[in-house]
Structure 1
Amino acid sequence: MRLPRRPPDRAPLQARRRLRSGVVQLLCAAGGVVAGLALPSSGVGPFVDGGRLTEPLVTLGVGVVGVVSIVYSLLFGVVQWSAGTFSPRLALFRDDPMVWRTFAFAIGVFVYCTVAAVAGADQHRVSVLVPGAAILGVLVAVGLIRRLQLRAFASIQLAYVLKAIGAQGRRVIDHLYPPRSGAVTGAPSRDAPAGRPHGEGTPGPTPADHAVVWTGRSGVVQQLDLPRLVVAASQADAVVSMTVAVGDTVHEGAPLATVDGSGPPDDVVRRAVVRGTERSFDQDPLLAFRLLADIALRALSPAVNDPASAVDALDATDGLLRHLITRDLDVAEVRDDRGVVRVRLVVPTWEDVVRTGVADLLPVAAASPMVLRRMVRLLDHLLGVAPPAARDALVPIRDDVRSELAEPSRRGAGWTRRH
């Protein structure tokens, strides 16, 4: 994979997201201060008595804050219910930019109303724009809150959640994998990256290499700042081979990467890793399949016993797999502008995706014929369109599913024995 001149990689995106939420709130508050000071002294008529506006403005400002507090309390319950019903790793609504943008706008309205009330309290002639702007701001805030409520209520509906996960999965697939042209070569193995095997039973780093260990707190690798890493490796004329994948948990003292020769400083490699408390969609194509599998597994649990929802989750998984099969998964090697390999990544293989999205469901789905039939249709279609290199991972799973349909009393014994 050659890194474009304008790299689409959004490795620092998660950190910027937190920064953006704080900056937007600060800008809205600052805008409220400026507008609250400027409009009372405006010469645009008609005019009203400023002293009589103080109480209505304060009431509007406090009312907006009160409504926002109530709504966000309800939304907290919605998020908790969604996580308990679908998956604790599901954070689609919580990470929606609309949540903190609505909060920021409400802060701006509150600040404007308060500042305008104080600034116009001792003025006999205040432009009608002052109450007009306050009323308009409150109406816009109510509209945003209403939209936020509708989105929150939609987030507890299975169809909406599956559609949102599928959209996020397609976005990251399109972002990471180029369209397939001709025959597809399998993605490099997680245990043996192409050109630099480090798995069990394979040669380790040469004496000229040195290992970079993680020195920070334990956490999940959410993203990699590939542009920074490629530039640093190119300047040092070295190759950085990552030993952890996006979505893996890295612990203090654990190997992070192997640098070929006198490469970039270890701190540069560590700073290229964005660590967080949970997985993020930004560069993790396996997360969407993990969430869909979580939903199906929860639906098939004895406590829920809802195989129809598991079939719906398999429908969404089928759509993602059909989209993924059209992409080139061999993206482990990242090249600089000269075409020289500078970074080797640990990326999910086709086997990883199929195991996570389909095979992990088989032991639980063995007692549900309708789910097994849907899995057979999914696998049969993929076998019809998959390149030869990808079929080897599908045939054993399809055979096991058919065996379960033919002998339901075995309840996953074939899968357990084979794997």
Structure 2
Amino acid sequence: MDAPPTMMLGPDRSAERVVRPRRALRAGASQVFAAALGFVLGLLLPGIDGGYQVAAQRAVDVLKVVGLGVLSVATLIFSVLFLVVQWAAGNFSHRLVLFRTDPVVWRLFALVVGVLAFSVTATLATGSRRTVSVAVPALALVLAATALVQVRRLQLRALKSIQLAHVLADVRDRGREVLRAMYPSPDDTDDAVPDAHEARALPEVTSTVVWAGDSVLLAQVDWLRLVRVATGADAVVVVKVPVGSTLHPGDLVAEVRGGRVPDAVVLRAVVGEIERTFHQDPTFAFRLLADIGLRALSPAINDPATAVQVLDAVEGLLRPLAAAELGDRSIADATGAVRVVMCLPAWEEFLRVGFDDLCRAASDQPMVLSRARHLLLRVREAAPEGRRPAMEERLAWVDQELADRHPAFLREPTDR
């Protein structure tokens, strides 16, 4: 087996990040930090004796108003957000988790926790004091204003999450980010690894790693961990399943070639979840776009214009991919030696996920078929010769459907 084209990953490349566990850790840590900071400030500020002082009872009244007001507003906003998430899932896709995983949600929750901790602690710390520092009510007002600004940001983000154009643009942009990370440009690859396109034979298989846990989705792989352990063992780890696929007990996860790496060490780099994420999953954006288009074409909704907008976003992802070097990738260590082989989708899979399902469902929608035909023509122009047969096969099917059912849509407008 020869090694695929090689690239090196640095700290600025999202292909190697295990974002979901780190994000969950940051969310929990931020809330604990905000509560601890509010508790400490609530204990220290009322004890300041110097500077301008205000009546303690007035400061307590301000703290009560701020605490209860922020809590009430946050409760109302989060109640509305649950409805927004439910609406987006019902009208777009149940796999669409853009708003639910947005950092602004857990940051606002951490801020609310901190404001409540400060208000309660400062109220109790004031005790029977007659006066307290003006810093106590001033900080309470600053925190309340900050919370209201964050609430406004959250409201605007929620409104965008129910607007089709914003959702499609967000999915497309996130998909592009993942594709750029997983399929770096030839210039970047050649600069990082000399002779990156030279075929290199991999060592013989020394062991295989199988999945021993429950059935999960392969959400991410900690590529840096695999590179480190493979370098230490002078081995090559070939991951045999793509990110986004389902792992069942007994499924082959990876092959270890050359040296020996314990199975448990390899499996610790595999992140299993119950749902797919954008990180490291090149086809997830195509899957979401196809879901939105299929839902729009369902008999209950029958909205072909939405499917046309979906095809606009799909074309925005396919055209940069048409000339890119697709397929599996190798990851090299600092010396340029191949240490990990990533299993990545090829051209046909992108077409199948992002185009085939949607167009087959649109066989009786001339508007959608006409837009699909233009997509195929434009992407075919950007694709190399080796990928054009797949486009021409689909183009022939679309032309046949239009000729049989809607021949008028095959004619170009006379005023063009």
The reply to whether TM is greater than 0.5 is yes
Aligned 8 A contact 1:2 1:337 in 2 = no
Equivalences for 1:2-151 in 2 at 5 Å?
2-6=7-11, 8=13, 9-151=15-157
1:165 partnered with 2:176: no
Deviation sequence 1:211-249 (CA, Å, 0-9, x none): 211122221111111111112112222222212110011
1:328 partnered with 2:325: yes
Q: Where does structure 2 lack aligned partners over 5 or more consecutive residues? A: 1-5, 188-198, 408-416
Which residue of structure 1 aligns with residue 194 of structure 2? none
Amino acid across the alignment from 1:105 = L
Q: Distance in 2 between matches of 1:45 and 1:398?
A: 78
Which residue of structure 2 aligns with residue 337 of structure 1? 334
Which residue of structure 1 aligns with residue 219 of structure 2? 222
1:174 partnered with 2:171: no
Deviation sequence 1:163-183 (CA, Å, 0-9, x none): 1101101111111111246xx
User: Secondary structure at the residue paired with 1:392?
Assistant: helix
Deviation sequence 1:183-210 (CA, Å, 0-9, x none): xxxxxxxxxxx9899xxxxxxx97x532
Q: Where does structure 1 lack aligned partners over 5 or more consecutive residues? A: 182-193, 198-204, 411-419
Alignment partner of 1:364 out of 361, 365, 369: 361
Aligned 8 A contact 1:11 1:274 in 2 = no
What is the CA distance between 1:326 and its match in structure 2?
4.4
Aligned 8 A contact 1:281 1:287 in 2 = yes
User: Secondary structure at the residue paired with 2:7?
Assistant: coil
Taking structure 2 as the reference length, what is the TM-score of the superposition? 0.89
Which residue of structure 1 aligns with residue 314 of structure 2? 317
What is the CA distance between 1:34 and its match in structure 2?
1.8
CA distance 1:337–1:160, shift in 2 (3 Å): same
Of 154-163 and 326-335, deviating more is: 326-335
Deviation sequence 1:286-336 (CA, Å, 0-9, x none): 000110111111111111100000000100111111222343224422222
Aligned 8 A contact 1:53 1:121 in 2 = no
What is the CA distance between 1:60 and its match in structure 2?
2.0
Q: Distance in 2 between matches of 1:107 and 1:77?
A: 22
What is the CA distance between 1:262 and its match in structure 2?
4.0
Aligned 8 A contact 2:211 2:247 in 1 = yes
Of 246-255 and 97-106, deviating more is: 246-255
Q: Distance in 1 between matches of 2:242 and 2:219?
A: 9
What is the CA distance between 1:52 and its match in structure 2?
3.7
Q: Distance in 2 between matches of 1:404 and 1:4?
A: 45
User: Secondary structure at the residue paired with 2:217?
Assistant: strand
Aligned 8 A contact 2:323 2:384 in 1 = no
Which residue of structure 2 aligns with residue 295 of structure 1? 292
Identity over aligned residues, as a percent? 45
Q: Distance in 2 between matches of 1:348 and 1:112?
A: 51
Q: Distance in 2 between matches of 1:195 and 1:395?
A: 33
What is the CA distance between 1:107 and its match in structure 2?
0.8
The number of aligned residues is 390
Amino acid across the alignment from 2:118 = Y
What is the CA distance between 1:5 and its match in structure 2?
5.0
Q: Distance in 2 between matches of 1:359 and 1:161?
A: 21
Q: Distance in 1 between matches of 2:357 and 2:27?
A: 37
Amino acid across the alignment from 1:211 = T
Which residue of structure 2 aligns with residue 276 of structure 1? 273
Structure 1 vs Structure 2 CA RMSD: 2.1
Deviation sequence 1:96-121 (CA, Å, 0-9, x none): 00000001001111111111111113
What is the CA distance between 1:261 and its match in structure 2?
4.5
